[in-house]
Amino acid sequence: MAQTAENFLLNRLSRASLAFFLVVSALCAVLGEPLTAASAAAVAGIIVSGRSFHPGRGARPWPAVQKLFFAALILLLMTSFWTGPWALSHWLYGLVLVAFALVPRGIATLVTVFMVILALAAAHWAEGIADRHQMISAFLLTILLSAVLIFLREYKTRQLAPLRRTDELTQAASREYLSADLHKEIQRSEREGTDMSIIMIGLDAHASDNDPDEDIRSILPRIGRFLHSQIRDFDTYYRAADLQFLVILPGIATHEAIARAETIRKGLCTLLESHGLNLTISTGIAGLNIGDDADSLQQSAANALRRAQQQGGNRTQVYSAWTPTTPPIQPRAEGSAP
C-alpha cells in the first residue's frame, strides 16, 4: 500500500512538473529567450520519458531517450555560461541530484566535477556580473548538501534492505527469507506427515540473447503478478535470483507439482509471447525426502532446473537422486540350461 501511494504521488508530481516546465518553455520562447526555452523543454523531456511519469517508460527506448534529454540540458547549461543568460546557471543547483538519478554513479560524479570546473572558469572570466561569485558559492554548497542527501539515501536503503519482506520489482517474497521460511515448512511437513514440493522457475537465458536487459526487467513485474494469481493463499513464491523464482507448495506431492509447474510454465510462455519477447521458461521440481533440509531441497530444485535448461529449455524437469545402473550378470551354474 505504501509503495502504491508513493508511485501515485510521484506520478502526480511528475505531471505537475511537466506542465510547469512546458509553460516556462512557451513563455520564454515568446519573450525571446530561446536558450531558457530550450532548457525548460529539455527538462520536460526528462520528466515525460521517466518511469515516474509512466510505468512503461522503463522499457526501451525510453531510458536512452531520457539520457539524451539530460545530455541536451548539460550542453545548454554549458552554453549559457558564455552566451547568457547568466541566471540560467542557477539551474545547476538541481543538476547533481538529476545526474545521480539518471546515470550511473561514476558518470554522475564526472559530470558534477566537470560542471564545477566549468562554472569556476566561467565565473573567473565573466565581467560585469556582480553576483557571479555568490552563485558559485551557492552552487558548491548545493553540491555538498546533495552529496549528503545521496549518502543518506544509500545508507537508508542498505539499512532497510534486510527488513523488506517483498521484492520491490516483482512483489515476490524476498530471497533473504527463503531459507528460513522453507525450513519452517519442512518442519511442519515432517511434523504433520504431509507431502511438500518446491518449483524453481527460470527464464532460459540462452533464448534472450537478442533481448535487451530493459525489456526483460520490464516484464518481471507481470511475471510476479502472474505467479501470484496461480498459487494458493498458503503457497509462497520468492525471487530466488535475477531471472529465477521459487514456489513452495505445502501438501503437494511431486506428481501434482509437475502438473502445476506445467500450467505455470505454459502460462508464462504465453505472457512473454504476448509482449513480443523471444523468451522461454523452464521449471525444476523437487519433492521433500527424508533427510532433506532447506539448502539441500533448494539445491535439488536448482539442479533439476539446470538439467532442463541444458536439455534445450522450455521444459519441466523433476529432480531424482536415483541413477540407473546396469544389473550385474549372474553367473550360470554348471550343468544348467543356457
Burial class of residue 314, CB neighbours in 10 A (0-12, 13-18, 19+) = middle
Nearest Cα neighbor of 197 from 68, 71, 88, 297 is 297
List the grid coordinates of 45: 523531456
Nearest Cα neighbor of 316 from 250, 247, 231 is 247
Regions in the chain scoring below 50 on pLDDT: 1-6, 207-212, 322-338
Instruction: Specify the pLDDT at position 160.
Output: 64
Sign of CA dihedral 239, 280, 292, 250: positive
Residue that the C-alpha cell 505467479 belongs to: 227
Instruction: Specify the pLDDT at position 129.
Output: 57
Instruction: Specify the pLDDT at position 265.
Output: 94
Contact 272, 279 (CB under 8 A): yes
Q: Please work out, in degrees rounded to the nearest 5, the angle formed at the alpha carbon of residue 18 by the alpha carbons of 15 and 23.
A: 130
List the grid coordinates of 169: 520489482
Its pTM stands at: 0.52
Instruction: Specify the pLDDT at position 101.
Output: 76
List the grid coordinates of 40: 525548460
Tell me the Ramachandran region of residue 194: left when phi exceeds 0, alpha when psi lies from -120 to 50, beta otherwise: beta
Any bridge partners for residue 245, and if so which?
A: 201, 239
